[in-house]
Amino acid sequence: MYDAIVVGARVAGSPTAMLLARKGYRVLLVDQTSFPSDTISTHHIHRAGLATANRWGLLPRLVGTGGPRIRRWTFDVGPFALTGNPLPAGDLDFDLCPRRTVLDSTLLDAAAEAGAEVRENFAVRGILSDGDRVCGIQAQTADGKIIQERARIVIGADGRRSRIARLVDAPTYHARPALSFGYYSYWSGVDLHGIELYPREGRGIVAEVTNDGLVYVAVGWRRAMFEAVRAHTERHVWQVLHDCAPQLAERVRQGQRVAPFKGADFPFFFRQPHGSGWALVGDAGYHRDAITGQGITDAFRDADLLAAAVDAGFSGRQPLAHALAAYEQARNTAVMPMYEFTYRLAQLEAPSEQEQQLFGALRTNHYETERFLSIMAGTVPVAEFFDPANLERIIRGSAALAA
Ligand SMILES: Cc1cc2nc3c(=O)[nH]c(=O)nc-3n(C[C@H](O)[C@H](O)[C@H](O)COP(=O)(O)OP(=O)(O)OC[C@H]3O[C@@H](n4cnc5c(N)ncnc54)[C@H](O)[C@@H]3O)c2cc1C
């Protein structure tokens, strides 16, 4: 009998298992895959997420995964680019972009070192129930054996298509269909430093340096383009690069593509992340478009919140159901402004007149440019920057300078 079984051992599951094991609980962490393992995802970790990892003592390991520290952001609005480094999170003034092969293995190792028992190639097929309370899992090993394990809580960290969420029938809310989708690949030999973003009407590009000197280039389109792009991905990627970022296209052309294209679409939803004997964390409980690159940062925060809630419940400091309800509330409060901001960006609209004025004003205002870039980095709240009075102040300030 375990205290907790965590299903899914990537950026949500491994930290949750690690934190619970560090508190002395008996934890089983399982994944149907074996590590190191890639997944369909680029891998920008905002400084807000790194600050969480730093509290866990994992920052040196994440820095040690080999990719450069990202301090240079380029937000190209078409006629010109805004550049800068977002405000620090505490004293952390950089982001990281480690390949998921190294990131996820590093987190898994940390969970194992904390005392979590890890089983790979271990696919959960069902849940065990005791009345209406979940009390374990049924899983299949690589050699086909069916195994049952019991726990006080089963935590689904099994991604957006979470089997645990389906099996417990977790209620979904604030759900909205995907607005966009993206494809990405990796290139060697591309002259690029930091992260470059190119938002355009109906399309968008993100390019960023990662491990081994490789650069990933990700292109997004509105959902309606899905079939056409899937049929001729490379042609469409190059089309967008040439149309929207010719200078970047030239640099990418100098390099060599070293991996096939991978892609995904991005539905929006929240799931109630707890019930009797179960909880959800990471994409299993909350999903949004990848355009703002929040998934890993969100997963770290929610692992922290969920592990604290489970501990509060198990230790008797609070009824478990109350602690888990507070976890849901804290998650929703933390993500809601970014959820709406991400939804707006994912529409891939041309900038409004006010946004054009804002970008024009930011062009000559480095301080406010860095605050603008800090929205995505998680160090300036969305609502604070987009407060109408703040926007007017920035725009009027630039008009006054020009007069
Ligand atoms: C194209 C794309 C680009 C992205 N770019 C970024 C980015 O730059 N920055 C960022 O922060 N986020 C990004 N994201 C989002 C990010 O990838 C996710 O938010 C993050 O991976 C969620 O982590 P997770 O641990 O919740 O789930 P996942 O990473 O989906 O991991 C779930 C794990 O559960 C396991 N599992 C599933 N079912 C079972 C089962 N039945 N039994 C056992 N194991 C099971 C799977 O094998 C998997 O290992 C991107 C996403 C996509 C699709």
Q: How far apart are CA 144 and CA 121, in angstroms?
A: 10
Atom of ligand 1 nearest to the CA of 46: 11
* Residue whose CA is at the smallest distance from ligand 1 atom 20: 295
Dihedral angle at the C-alpha atoms of 171, 39, 251, 292, nearest 10 degrees? Answer: 20
Which two tokens mark 58?
């994992």
Nearest CA-CA partner of 134 in 315, 298, 317, 324: 324
Which residue out of 158, 226, 376 has the highest number of ligand 1 atoms within 8 Å of its CB and is therefore the one to mutate? 158
Q: Which CA distances in Å does 380 have to 87, 374, 384?
A: 8, 5, 7
CA atoms within 13 A on the CB side of 276: 7
Q: What is the pLDDT of residue 362?
A: 97
Q: What is the pLDDT of residue 397?
A: 85
Q: Is 94 left (phi over 0), alpha (psi -120 to 50) or beta?
A: beta
pTM of the model: 0.97
Q: How far apart are CA 315 and CA 153, in angstroms?
A: 14
Q: What domains lie within the chain, and their CATH numbers?
A: 2-40+99-174+268-344 (3.50.50.60), 180-265 (3.30.9.100), 353-402 (no CATH)
- Crossing angle, helix 353-363 and helix 388-402, to 10 degrees? 60
Atom of ligand 1 nearest to the CA of 262: 1
264 contacts 271 by C-beta, under 8 angstroms: no
Ligand 1 center–CA 160 separation, angstroms: 7
183 contacts 263 by C-beta, under 8 angstroms: yes
Nearest CA-CA partner of 66 in 44, 43, 24, 99: 99
Q: How far apart are CA 265 and CA 223, in angstroms?
A: 8
Atom of ligand 1 nearest to the CA of 97: 8
Q: What is the pLDDT of residue 403?
A: 62
Q: How far apart are CA 371 and CA 377, in angstroms?
A: 10
CA atoms within 13 A on the CB side of 382: 15
* Residue whose CA is at the smallest distance from ligand 1 atom 50: 41
Q: What is the pLDDT of residue 398?
A: 73
**Secondary structure string (H, E, C) spanning the chain:** CEEEEEECCCCCHHHHHHHHHHCCCCEEEECCCCCCCCCCCCCCECHHHHHHHHHCCCHHHHHCCCCCCECCEEEECCCCEEEECCCCECCECCEECCCHHHHHHHHHHHHHHHCCEEECCEEEEEEEEECCEEEEEEEEECCCCEEEEEEEEEEECCCCCCHHHHHHCCCEEEEECCCEEEEEEEEECCCCCCEEEEEECCEEEEEEECHHHCEEEEEEEEHHHHHHHHHCHHHHHHHHHHHHCHHHHHHHHHCEECCCCEEEECCEEEECCEECCEEECHHHCEECCHHHCCHHHHHHHHHHHHHHHHHHHHCCCCCHHHHHHHHHHHHHHHHHHHHHHHHHHHCCCCCCHHHHHHHHHHHCCHHHHHHHHHHHHCCCCHHHHCCHHHHHHHHHHHHHHHC
Which residue out of 18, 34, 41, 306 has the highest number of ligand 1 atoms within 8 Å of its CB and is therefore the one to mutate? 41
Pocket residues for ligand 1 (CB within 6 Å)? 7-13, 30-33, 39-44, 123-124, 157-159, 163, 182, 264, 282-284, 290, 293-297, 299
Q: Is 121 left (phi over 0), alpha (psi -120 to 50) or beta?
A: left
205 contacts 245 by C-beta, under 8 angstroms: yes
Ligand 1 center–CA 27 separation, angstroms: 21
* Residue whose CA is at the smallest distance from ligand 1 atom 28: 159
Per-residue pLDDT of the chain (403 residues; tens, 9 = 90+): 999 999 999 999 999 999 999 999 999 999 999 999 999 999 999 999 999 999 999 999 999 998 899 999 999 999 999 999 999 999 999 999 999 999 999 999 999 999 999 999 999 999 999 999 999 999 999 999 999 999 999 999 999 999 999 999 999 999 999 999 999 999 999 999 999 999 999 999 999 999 999 999 999 999 999 999 999 999 999 999 999 999 999 999 999 999 999 999 999 999 999 999 999 999 999 999 999 999 999 999 999 999 999 999 999 999 999 999 999 999 999 999 999 999 999 999 999 999 999 999 999 999 999 999 999 999 999 999 999 999 999 999 876 666 6
Q: How far apart are CA 304 and CA 55, in angstroms?
A: 10
